[in-house]
Structure 1
């Protein structure tokens, strides 16, 4: 057995617990500051950009219908919007995206204990699609899973992360159970957009 592992095992329980707690806290902190926060900023920027482009498209379309000279400008804005919306799947692509998340967990040797998509929450021209996850595996594999999720071409944010050690080891490393919520975003077609609230 590895001398470092033997030394760790011989430590008093409270010291082992403290070491594991510090490691988990470090992983969670690193994920939050280096993955979650940048992704959330990127997401907010994309949503703001998309809303601005939507407003511009509506304004320019009325002009383009009557004036040919504005058609090129409208087409360019539509192209920019389409490029932005590539990161938001439509209804047909959503099951494939959810399957990809589960596949990434398995590729990182994580056991998927729970994979439960929740109800959509409409947010203007897009909808949030939450997925409740419970995963078990080594902390390095869990870290790789979060990294791989952040590298997906579609926007997927992960929050409400709760970690705890579970009985057992894999390759000499303590197993960790993670409860979290992955949220992806789906583009709503014109017919799906909720009507604007009436002013009183």
Structure 2
């Protein structure tokens, strides 16, 4: 093969060689002047995208935790409100020192005395209990057993808190068919320490 044959063969593939040379030149130009120039910028942008994605995930996690805390706070506020309501109701059932006479009247009044004979009512010393004073008292009564049960029900239904802490029942020969009973009760009065 000599040079003449080579020139003839190149002539046949001339267009193809020009197209390939042009494509290689364009590829080299694109790679060198566009890709390599912007490669650092692409890497920097990719790094920023990864950092932003990490920040977004972190913020989403913080939002979820904040929502959990907010829900727990809401639940705690509801429980606090419920406790305050119950405290208010309980406090409304505690007598002030001015209401003690109405409680005593309720315990020994005519409307309650059906079948119950009061022998004595004596108060015991006040006991400080924080914001309240415990006012214990002892009552001696005589009644039939059924009347005694009705009397205890009446005490339970009083609008103010009166607690029957203990009681004793005795059957004495001289007072039969009535039973002699001692009730140890208490109420709480506002105005402690």
- TM-score normalised to structure 1 length: 0.50
**Aligned counterpart in structure 1 of residue 178 of structure 2, from 164, 175, 179:** 175
Distance change in 2, residues 1:84/1:137 (3 Å): closer
Distance apart, 1:158 and its partner CA: 0.9
**Aligned counterpart in structure 1 of residue 152 of structure 2, from 108, 122, 146:** 146
Alignment: residue pair count: 112
Aligned Cα RMSD in Å?
Answer: 2.5
**Aligned counterpart in structure 1 of residue 169 of structure 2, from 150, 159, 163:** 163
Distance apart, 1:84 and its partner CA: 2.9
Distance change in 2, residues 1:142/1:79 (3 Å): same
Unaligned runs of 5+ in 2: 1-77
Unaligned runs of 5+ in 1: 1-72, 194-200
3-state SS of 1:114 partner: strand
Q: Take 2:110 and 2:185, find their aligned partners in 1: how far apart are those partners?
A: 13
Q: Take 1:86 and 1:157, find their aligned partners in 2: how far apart are those partners?
A: 15
Higher strand share: 1
Give the structure 1 partner of residue 93 of structure 2: 87
Larger Rg belongs to? 2
- TM-score normalised to structure 2 length: 0.51
Moved over 4 A (4+): 76-79
Higher helix share: 2
